Amino acid sequence: MRTTITLEADVARKLKAYAHARRTTFKQAVNEVIRRGLGAQERKETSVPFVVVPHTGGFLPGIDPMRLKQQLDDEDVEEFLRKSDHR
């Protein structure tokens, strides 16, 4: 099919460089790049959707979720004492 398109200057430069690097014609370069672009769109539409599998979570036995801050404070104190004993 024969048609006329207007390319922006930067796109035309890139296509000319692409054609030159592959030793092909400008027309073939335009068709190849358009095919690849359209093919990429098709693959995105048919890709498998990402599914999130929820995790039930929960705390280990003996951990009270209402006292997490206190537990962190206790661990900080223990770490401080360990570091101060080694000096």
Q: What pLDDT shows up at residue 45?
A: 62
- Residue type at 33? V
Q: What pLDDT shows up at residue 43?
A: 63
Q: What pLDDT shows up at residue 86?
A: 62
Instruction: Please state the domain extents for the chain.
Output: 9-46
Q: What is the CA radius of gyration of the chain?
A: 31
Task: With H, G, I as helix, E, B as strand and everything else as coil, classify residue 52.
Answer: coil
Q: What pLDDT shows up at residue 63?
A: 80
Report mean pLDDT in 10-residue bins for the chain, 87 residues: 92 96 95 90 71 85 84 91 79
Q: Do the beta carbons of residue 26 and residue 15 sit within 8 Å?
A: yes
Q: With a threshold of 0.85, does the pTM exceed it? A: no
Q: What pLDDT shows up at residue 14?
A: 95
